[in-house]
Amino acid sequence: QVQLVESGGGLVQAGGSLRLSCAASGRTFSSYAMGWFRQAPGKEREFVGAINRSGDSTYYADSVTGRFTISRDNAKNTVYLQMNSLKPEDTAIYYCAAKVAWSVDYDIWGQGTQVTVSS
């Protein structure tokens, strides 16, 4: 199965931008739909967005629509989360996850990367 490692998190001021990467191991990356999730301290995990296997369809939570963009490069086994116009409420640990076509849940997860947005 695919293994996922997130990177690119850090500290950024409100209104700034950050790009997260999720690097996948294995030879079947293109067979997985990919999702991004986040979890703030004391909060439940929240869906951020998703991209299909071919990369031609994306879906976003209302809270990030218009600000965040998901893309993938199957040749590099990598999915990206471009975050623009960041707000303090975007502060969270961000996780990428993979879902095979026959699964109803995302069942493969990365370790997460911290994003902190200061006011």
Please report the pLDDT score of residue 26 as a whole number: 77
Largest CA distance in the chain: 42
CA distances from 52 to 56, 58, 63 (A): 7, 7, 20
Q: For residue 74, what are the contacts with CB-CB under 8 A and spacing of at least 6?
A: 29, 30, 55
Please report the pLDDT score of residue 28 as a whole number: 82
Three-point CA angle 63, 69, 114, nearest 5°: 70
Q: How far apart are the first and last CA of the chain?
A: 40
- For 2-59, the pLDDT digits (tens) are 899 999 999 999 999 999 999 999 778 889 999 999 999 999 999 999 999 999 999 9
- For 69-119, the pLDDT digits (tens) are 999 999 999 999 999 999 999 999 999 999 987 888 998 999 999 999 999
